Amino acid sequence: MADPEQKTKRPVAVEIGARIREQRDRLKLSQGALADKIGARDQTVSRYEQGHLIPSAEALGQLSDALGVSMSWLLRGHESDAAAESPEDRHSEPSAA
């Protein structure tokens, strides 16, 4: 018998794409403008948003910078346990505790 929760879950690529589109719309950016900011083609942004292509780690970093959100938010829809980081902090080495 099928798990009823399975029907409500969407694939990760679709979830990431929906968040990219949501933030792009908030910023009133076209797909072309976002593509220019990340050095990609409009079709690539379209494929991300439709869930046909999962952004690479490098592309996720570029998207998070361009959209002003964390990579954690793009991937999971919420911030990580750490406080929100600046773009510089996201790309630096974690400090030793």
Output the pTM of the full model: 0.73
pLDDT interval class at 92 (50, 70, 90): very low
Helix (H, G, I), strand (E, B), or coil: what is residue 90? Answer: helix
CATH topology of domain 10-78: 434 Repressor (Amino-terminal Domain) (1.10.260)
| Interval 29-85: pLDDT, tens | 999 999 999 999 999 999 999 999 999 999 999 999 999 999 999 999 877 644 444
Domain ranges across the chain: 10-78
Rounded Cα–Cα distance for residues 48 and 79 (Å): 20
Rounded Cα–Cα distance for residues 29 and 34 (Å): 6
Residue 7, token pair as written in the block: 């029907």
Rounded Cα–Cα distance for residues 3 and 5 (Å): 5
